[in-house]
Chain A
């Protein structure tokens, strides 16, 4: 259990590490080129690991809805945005505002898709996040 907890924390650390490295690449090139390298290097790495481990095409991937395949192009914009932002507002602000957006839009998606959930928890959670975003905006000269 402790081992899995450490792995989950490490996964978060690697998200930030990846954004910093991509941000450094964007400083030398451009945000979009950084996003390209992130995807092609990640693709090569996953391909090697998947070939070694096997089971890449296990299950019934051909049955998934067509829109599930749109994650790649969306990810290109996401990685480019992160690479562009991190040199401008820092790693912590970038991470915090992305998390805020992910949570708030996640609730909107859940409501739209009709996913069950606790209404009050959603209201209080979103309110706290919006309050945190408001605080981060105050005091700008």
Chain B
């Protein structure tokens, strides 16, 4: 199931970039909640309203199941991993790392583990071997992100 390392289709490219835009909105919304309530509250509320919103979407869209066979139980645990992330970052935010250090190291961990997962095809996802072009792109986007994180804001 090895894929050739073609650059992404425009639709995938745009969807991922747009999803990043949604993430910056979530950071603003959830961060504002955390400024008034507890960090638990700022994670608990979006999970609660998100559960309701996802149910409404499912009721309207009625997406077909890709496979009739039941997947293994561990595939339902992605939400636990996401919730632990919030708790870890709330601990590091208040350390000497502050916001910029937390974001920068988080991006590093995310990219390294993603590259590792791709080359191994972890968790039943397609295996992919990154090309030299992928690494050039990675270096440029990482450099730009680090400049924005450490020098782009007044914090």
* A, B assembled together: yes
The reply to whether B118 and A90 form a contact with Cβ atoms under 8 Å apart is yes
As a 0/1 sequence over residues 21 to 43 of chain A, the CB contacts with chain B under 8 angstroms (1 = contact) are: 11111111111111111111111
Chain B residues, Cβ within 8 Å of A60: 36-37
Q: Is B148 within 8 A of A91, CB to CB?
A: no
Q: Please, how many angstroms separate the alpha-carbon atoms of A11 and B43 in the complex?
A: 15
Is the pair A55, B20 in contact by a Cβ cutoff of 8 Å? no
Residue pair B79, A40 in contact (C-beta under 8 Å): yes
Q: Which of B26, B47, B92 is A42 in contact with, Cβ under 8 Å?
A: B47
Main secondary structure of the interface of A (DSSP, over half): helix
Name the prevailing secondary structure of the B interface residues.
helix
Inter-chain contact A40/B51, CB cutoff 8 Å: yes
Indicate which residue in A19, A56, A80, A105 contacts B21 across the interface (CB closer than 8 Å): A105
Q: Is B144 within 8 A of A126, CB to CB? A: yes
Instruction: Select one of B40, B46, B67, B114 contacting A71, CB under 8 A.
Output: B46
Interface residues on B, range: 35 or more
- Given known pairs A64-B36, A139-B133, the reply for A42 and B82 (CB within 8 Å) is yes
Q: List 7 A-B contacts (CB under 8 A).
A: A8-B105, A22-B78, A72-B47, A96-B138, A98-B16, A99-B145, A100-B144
| Interface of B toward A, CB cutoff 8 Å | 3, 6-9, 12-13, 15-30, 32-33, 35-38, 40-41, 43-55, 57-58, 61, 63-67, 69-71, 74-89, 91-92, 95-97, 101-102, 105-115, 117-118, 122-126, 128, 130, 133-134, 136-145, 147-148, 151-154
Interface positions of A (Cβ within 8 A of B): 1, 4-5, 7-43, 45-47, 49-50, 53, 55-65, 67-82, 84-107, 109-110, 115-118, 121-122, 124-133, 135-141
